[in-house]
Amino acid sequence: PRQPAKTLWYDRPRYVYLEFCVEDSTDVKVVIEDQRLVFSCKNPDGVEFYNEIDLYARVNSKDSREKRSDRSITCFMRKWKEKVAWPRVTKENIKPAWLSVDFDNWRDWEGDEELERAMVEQYAEV
């Protein structure tokens, strides 16, 4: 049986972040297209996770990547239009039950130019 992974997301001036919360994941597959993300993996109990998201806006799939840890898989996608806030991550204005805003990482970056400059410099180093 497949089920969606619990997913957290947050918005930044240049990137949108999605964190799929699956511990000790295996067989991780992430496909990032211009306006779609498909994620799948398994957990140690053999449960298959699958999430498909039609994205709110276009991303640069070539400058997007994922990072796996023992606790989750984080994807960061480069926005096609930088410094444009995403009010949501999904194309449709419906919030799937498995999707939440990551309030720990959420910042209201509009109007805070110094913070944004610092962030941009930080990203430049990545």
Q: How many domains does the chain have?
A: 1
- Please report, rounded to a whole number, the percentage of residues in the chain having pLDDT higher than 70: 85
Within-domain flag for 110: yes
Q: What is the CATH number of the domain that holds 21?
A: 2.60.40.790
In a domain, 25, yes or no: yes
Q: Which of 57, 59, 112, 51 lies closest to 88, judged by CA?
A: 57
Does residue 114 fall inside a structural domain? yes
Its domain, for residue 100, covers: 7-125
pLDDT at 106: 81
Q: Is residue 2 part of a domain?
A: no
- The answer to the question of residue 1 being in a domain is no
66 assigned to some structural domain: yes
- Whole-prediction pTM: 0.84
36-42 sheet: strands from edge to edge: 2-3, 48-54, 36-42, 26-32
Q: Residue 118 — very low, low, confident or very high, per pLDDT cuts 50/70/90? A: low
- Strand-pairing partners, residue 51, are 39
Burial 90-108 (b: 16+ CB within 10 A, else e): eeeeeeeeebeeeeeeeee
Q: Would you say residue 117 has pLDDT above 70?
A: no
Does residue 86 belong to any structural domain of this protein?
yes
